[in-house]
Structure 1
């Protein structure tokens, strides 16, 4: 069983500028990586199901998913009636991809299972067409598994697909499978391993992410120069653009922001030479994330004169991505990032003006992680979830809060239907944050306790909801004009504090910019906990001892 660092998952959300603790995966497959084979030799020629299949494929590639589903269902049925199982499997493979695009997850799962059953597991001596079709179906199954939160299963599907492509001598198929495996590793929080996988693909071995981030500047410089030289030798292709973009993302998540920026610029240059609009938009989006990280890093190191220009560059990349993205998922992610940055920089009017468009775009997306997480992020940006936790002044927005509540209620309903406990915990927890901000302490408490139960042993979520519960219980207690600490609030804060100490230990080996983000986000937990322990005229000896220990732990976090 793969295990991931909860601290790294925590920092992933920070560096992407998200207000939620789950990563947003790319739900739209990259062309050439997940598409089933379309070799005409694998199809019977010039018949009605062939026409339906071609029309379905054309509709799929044009983004007309409802039409694609209709045509591909017809093709699959016709091939089945004619007793052509491989052709039927091809149609079902495309049908599953189209259903995924529409958020029809259960139907897509049933369809890809049927496709795999029709193909069967090819033996080592099976014909190449069956091997290739099996690999493509595994790739489609992995895409579905990643989209519904089964990242480990997706990794295993893509590993098997890579083995099949290797047996076939299909270099592009193998490379695409390796890139997909890196996506799964990223979703699991295994960022260094994902980074190493990408380096293996780009350079053929010999380099590691640890080397790229080495403390020794000579080692770091040499490895980076070797990487750049190896990249130059690779011919331009969409896979090269994707690999550079993925590597740039991994470097950002590991705190290597300057090198992330350089790598993403290289990926953008490849995409521009290929004139690939989708890859250009994704590169612009991720450059926005990295420049936002660089701006925050400058603030962490008390360089405000550098922070503002970097923030402006981030906004510029987001604006370009929003304008150029043919893919609605890229457009909405860029717009969500714009709103968050505008609110953070007190440009609330611009954020409010964009709100209706982003809300409508989210409604048009298929029900899935991106749409659910996007609603949570949109509501949290305008509600000021991070400021509520820090007990700072909330953003002043000219927006009816009922609209934010509706966004969060919709995200809860959709997450529960989606069937992923982690996503449901985030949605319910953030609805609890809304009621905390509204002063409805009982409803806030009920939702927060439900989020805690759903979070289970996931510390990067559990600490947030324990902290939120502590704030709610203490605020409710103070409604009675009693300023002493509430015993339940202290217990909840103590649980959050204990979890955070464990997460801090996991961060010891990471880049300082990652540690700064961790410190800034969790510092209020320590300070509020210490304040509660020292409430009243005569704090107990146990409380005094615990407060001293919390002060020492806070000092360690600040170092």
Structure 2
């Protein structure tokens, strides 16, 4: 009889945990969509269209402060600082710095899912740069416009923007910008479902990168190739590219790119149903990543895989850490976090 009683007590508790974690997994998937769409293969971290543009002559300025806040995932604060910087540059009449600031402001708005404001900011930036249409700054602003267009479900328009940047970078002999444009174009093709065309472009980029010296551009290019091959189902080639990307990031001691490659390798292992390997990759990504957004994405993938593999005890122990990480992120994502919190409270009181 005692054994029967324990069994009766255990299974309701197990089902309760499983139900709770399954509900949480639903919101994990939703959150990953918010954090990761689109997953642009842009490069490198401090020059990419997902990181704020800077100018070598602009230091210790509101623009630089905005960049620091942005890279830390503090997007609302970044918007406030960049708005102040834009007003200051309007008053001084510095159109170039104003254009850079507005482009950065558009990026911060994009992270907050405030697309109307993002579109207005990037439009103003490009208008200010109309007389500089062959300049590097114009091309970088076009990259940001392409990112916004892809986020808004307009991959065809994004493709056109990135084709324009490719031409500018070719004319200005900017090899890293050229590679970045081609990788972004591959993302646009992939988003439209043209996986083969995306892979063909990335393989051309890969050939170009192999002949170049080691660099962050090369590391990110290989990672982008690996991610595209993973989606297409070319798993051996995907793993080869991702491991090469990781080795290169390690040699360059870039923790950001090491974490990103480990995260992709975790997804690759998960695709092959290699759960222990995937968990290890995610753990390493969590440990190495200096980016709050990358870190929480890895933690959420780690958690969801624990749930899928029915490792419920470890899943429960991870929840306080994830909840703490979520509390540090941008208020724009509060809607999803509050739903997760509701689940915590309901299940804890039931």
Q: TM-score, normalised by structure 2?
A: 0.77
Judged with a 3 Å threshold, the aligned counterparts in structure 2 of structure 1 residues 345 and 327 are, in CA distance, closer, same or farther, namely: same
Query: 1:85 Cα deviation (Å)?
Result: 2.1
1:299 counterpart residue number: none
Q: Residue 351 in 1 paired to residue 315 in 2?
A: yes
In structure 2, how many angstroms separate the alpha carbons of the residues matched to 1:403 and 1:168?
A: 59
1:500 counterpart residue number: none
2:108 counterpart residue number: 98
Structure whose CA Rg is larger: 1
Judged with a 3 Å threshold, the aligned counterparts in structure 2 of structure 1 residues 58 and 344 are, in CA distance, closer, same or farther, namely: closer
Q: Residue 329 in 1 paired to residue 288 in 2?
A: no
2:202 aligned residue (188, 198, 202): 198
Judged with a 3 Å threshold, the aligned counterparts in structure 2 of structure 1 residues 331 and 371 are, in CA distance, closer, same or farther, namely: farther
In structure 2, how many angstroms separate the alpha carbons of the residues matched to 1:375 and 1:177?
A: 37
In structure 1, how many angstroms separate the alpha carbons of the residues matched to 2:29 and 2:99?
A: 41
1:137 counterpart residue number: 141
2:264 aligned residue (272, 280, 286): 286
1:275 counterpart residue number: 253
Deviation per CA, 1:427-475, whole angstroms, max 9, x where unpaired? xxxxxxxxxxxxxxxxxxxxxxxxxxxxxxxxxxxxxxxxxxxxxxxxx
In structure 2, how many angstroms separate the alpha carbons of the residues matched to 1:70 and 1:400?
A: 32
Does the 8 A contact of 1:37 with 1:133 survive in 2? no
Deviation per CA, 1:485-506, whole angstroms, max 9, x where unpaired? xxxxxxxxxxxxxxxxxxxxxx
Query: 1:83 Cα deviation (Å)?
Result: 2.6
2:130 counterpart residue number: 120
Judged with a 3 Å threshold, the aligned counterparts in structure 2 of structure 1 residues 328 and 371 are, in CA distance, closer, same or farther, namely: farther
Does the 8 A contact of 1:151 with 1:184 survive in 2? yes
Could you tell me which runs of 5 or more consecutive residues in structure 2 were left unpaired when the two chains were aligned: 1-27
Could you tell me which runs of 5 or more consecutive residues in structure 1 were left unpaired when the two chains were aligned: 1-17, 205-229, 296-309, 380-398, 405-559
In structure 2, how many angstroms separate the alpha carbons of the residues matched to 1:268 and 1:371?
A: 33
Does the 8 A contact of 1:251 with 1:259 survive in 2? yes
In structure 2, how many angstroms separate the alpha carbons of the residues matched to 1:19 and 1:89?
A: 36
Query: 1:62 Cα deviation (Å)?
Result: 5.3
Judged with a 3 Å threshold, the aligned counterparts in structure 2 of structure 1 residues 350 and 58 are, in CA distance, closer, same or farther, namely: closer
Matched pairs, number: 313
In structure 1, how many angstroms separate the alpha carbons of the residues matched to 2:198 and 2:335?
A: 25
In structure 1, how many angstroms separate the alpha carbons of the residues matched to 2:263 and 2:285?
A: 5
Q: Residue 187 in 1 paired to residue 187 in 2?
A: no
In structure 2, how many angstroms separate the alpha carbons of the residues matched to 1:372 and 1:247?
A: 34
Q: What CA RMSD, in Å, does the superposition of the two structures yield over aligned residues?
A: 3.4
1:238 counterpart residue number: 216
Query: 1:137 Cα deviation (Å)?
Result: 0.9
In structure 1, how many angstroms separate the alpha carbons of the residues matched to 2:331 and 2:287?
A: 23
In structure 2, how many angstroms separate the alpha carbons of the residues matched to 1:99 and 1:26?
A: 17
Does the 8 A contact of 1:292 with 1:311 survive in 2? yes
Q: TM-score, normalised by structure 1?
A: 0.50
SS of the counterpart of 1:112? Answer: helix
